[in-house]
Amino acid sequence: MLRIGLPLLLLGLLAGCMLPPEPVTETGREVFNLYLVVLALALVVFVGVEGFILYAIVRYRRKPGDDVLPEQHHGNNTIEIIWTAIPTVIVFILFGFSMFTLARVEARSDDPGVRIAVEGFQWQWIFRYEDGPTVTGSAAEPPVLAVPIGEPVRLELETLDVNHAFYVPQFLIKRDLINVPNDLLDNELEFTITEAGTYAGQCAEFCGTAHADMTFVVEAMDRAAYDEYIAAIAAGEDAPGGDTGDCGTTIELAAVESLLYDTDAIEAPAGEDFCIEFTNNDSVPHDVGIIETDYNGDDVAPGESITYVVPAMEAGDYTFYCTLHPQAMVGDLTVTE
């Protein structure tokens, strides 16, 4: 009993340890099932071969002093053909299953109800909801991708700089954000979520220094809640970044093509909060930071603008810069009484 039971138990534990997360999308479930089939086959092979090795180690160990040579088999055509044919069949079966599942994963509906453009950049995400708001993430606050459950959601994936990848482990899928000239490649993902909840996601294509920080969160909710949520963001967008009413002074600053500010010198008053109205007219995200005070404003997506409220500073010469492009985009901030 123990000789069979214990190994089976261990095997069960092993198999239980080797599973993807419980999928929360329809296609994720298909992939999970495919994985189970492959895992089962893998376990059979694993047990068979490792079992043989263990058996051979014990059974065929040379006894000390035994100098008689064992039978010198060179080969056996029959058995060699068999152990070529069987793996070939298994390969074909696995391939067939894979292609079937692949077709389901790659299927696209004619007209998905929800389309969201996902833009990745070093090192955060921008979500542009079709006919809706744009949400830009930052290291301090990874963005939330709100999606309804029960209907197809299509994501259009685009990178603003290097390669990235959109990955949600609980969807059992990822896809690269990658450029090919002339839009010859348009990466998309489509899924239908089956269960409301919060799902973690992050970039899964190494993209530089802060690749590890490029996270996001998926909030899946029923359609009604989704519509409300999106409306709320859209409304809140009209006053981003803080109370403009508090601004005694507002400085206008813009980012322009390519990787430049429209001025390299700005002035601000000392001893009081002041605002920077920042517009990003470049094709990649930018922000405004101040080196000496460690001020780091939120990232702004291309085409968007924001009003930064900068805490009061003492008189002096400072340097403002884009924290995303610190070498290219630098300027002088003079704070005067």
Partner 1 sequence: MATTTLEPRAGTFSRSWVIDWLTTVDHKKIGILYIVNSFLFFFAAGILALFIRSELAVPGLQFLDQDTYNQAFTMHGTIMIFLFVVPVLAGFGNYIVPLQLGAPDMAFPRINALSFWFLPLGGLLIFSGYLFGGAAAEGWTGYAPLTDDTYAQGVGTDLWIIGLTLVGTASILGSINFIATIFKMRAPGMTLFRMPIFVWTILVTATLIMLATPVLTAGLIALFIDRNYGGSFFDPSVGGNPVLWQHIFWFFGHPEVYIVILPAMGVVSEILPVFSRKPLFGYKAFVFATIGIGLLSWTVWAHHMFTTGAVFLPFFSFMTALIAIPTGIKMFNWLATMWRGKLMFTTAMLFAVGFISMFLIGGISGVMLASPPIDFHVQDTYFVVAHLHYVFFGGSVFGVFAATYYWFPKMFGRKLNEPLGKVHFWLHFIGFNLAFFPMHQLGLSGMPRRISDYAANPEWTILNLVSTVGAFMIAVSVIPFLINVIATFINGEPAGDDPWEGNTLEWATTSPPPPYNFDRLPPIHSERPLFFLTHGHGHAAERPEDLEEEQVHDERPADVERREDPLV
Partner 2 sequence: MTTHAEATAREEGKFTPQDHQSGMPTALVGMLLFIASEVMFFGGLFATYFNARATTSGAWGPPEGAHELDIALAGVLTAILVASSFTMQFGVWAIRRGDTGKLKLWTAITLGLGVLFLAGQLYDYSQLGFGVGDGVFGTVFYTLTGFHGAHVFGGAVGLTIVLARAMRGQFSARNHVAVEAVSMYWHFVDVVWIAVFSTIYLLG
- Which of the residues 134 through 163 are near partner 1 (CB under 8 A)? 161-163
Binding residues for partner 1, how many (CB under 8 A)?
83
The site map against partner 2 for 236-275 (x = CB under 8 A) is ----------------------------------------
From 3, 180, 327, 337, residue interacting with partner 2 (rule: CB under 8 A): 180
CB of residue 249 vs partner 2: minimum separation in angstroms?
44
- Residue 79 found at the interface with partner 1 (CB under 8 A): yes
Question: 6 is written with which tokens?
Answer: 């214990």
CB of residue 289 vs partner 1: minimum separation in angstroms?
18
Question: Which strands sit side by side in the sheet containing 330-336, from one edge to the other?
Answer: 265-269, 330-336, 316-321, 289-290, 295-296
Q: What's the rounded Cα separation, in Å, for the pair 299 and 1?
A: 63
Quick one: 172 or 275, whose CB is closer to partner 1? 172
Q: What's the rounded Cα separation, in Å, for the pair 273 and 311?
A: 5
79 binds, among partner 1, partner 2, none (CB under 5 to 8 A by kind): partner 1
Residues near 186 by Cβ (< 8 Å), separated by ≥ 6?
A: 156
- Residue 17 found at the interface with partner 2 (CB under 8 A): no
One-letter amino acid identity for 290? I
From 17, 79, 184, 224, residue interacting with partner 2 (rule: CB under 8 A): 184
Question: 137 is written with which tokens?
Answer: 């993430």
Closest among 62, 193, 60 to 116, alpha carbons compared = 193
Chain center to CA of 322 = 24
38 binds, among partner 2, partner 1, none (CB under 5 to 8 A by kind): partner 1
- Residue 186 found at the interface with partner 2 (CB under 8 A): no
CB of residue 156 vs partner 2: minimum separation in angstroms?
20
Measured CA distances, 58 to 62, 63, 138, 159 (Å) = 9, 11, 59, 57
